[in-house]
Structure 1
């Protein structure tokens, strides 16, 4: 029975090794996705700021502009 127990223990160690490897790969993948999402959030904020600036410049009142040179 000790040979059988040793085989079972070896099998469990092999499985645990695969589980550890899979967890490490998944952790790296999640970390990469987190970095990518952070970059996308920063880009979204920058685009939002630029959109607000463009809307502000387009919404200027025509009375605030100087008259054309021919007037």
Structure 2
């Protein structure tokens, strides 16, 4: 393989690696955004669940005991 062919091969590989690296960076960024969105959704769902639990426990305390048969 002559020097020109080797140089072209190296440049081709470098261009491919740069493209692959850019694609991976884009993927990591999309996953970061999705993770942030999922964390917000989980925080909201947790707050809603805690609110429901508090509502159920306070409602049960105000009810009279069931009648005995």
TM-score, normalised to structure 2, is 0.83
Q: Deviations over 1:21-58 (max 9, x none)?
A: 00001110111011101100110000000000000000
Unaligned runs of 5+ in 2: 64-69
Question: Which runs of 4 or more aligned residues in structure 1 lie more than 2 Å from their structure 2 counterparts after TM superposition?
Answer: none
- The CA RMSD over aligned residues, in Å, is 1.3
Equivalent residue pairs, number:
61
Do structure 1's residue 37 and structure 2's residue 42 form an aligned pair? no
Unaligned runs of 5+ in 1: 64-71
- How far did residue 6 of structure 1 move? 1.2
5 Å-filtered alignment, 1:51-66, equals: 51-60=49-58, 61-62=61-62
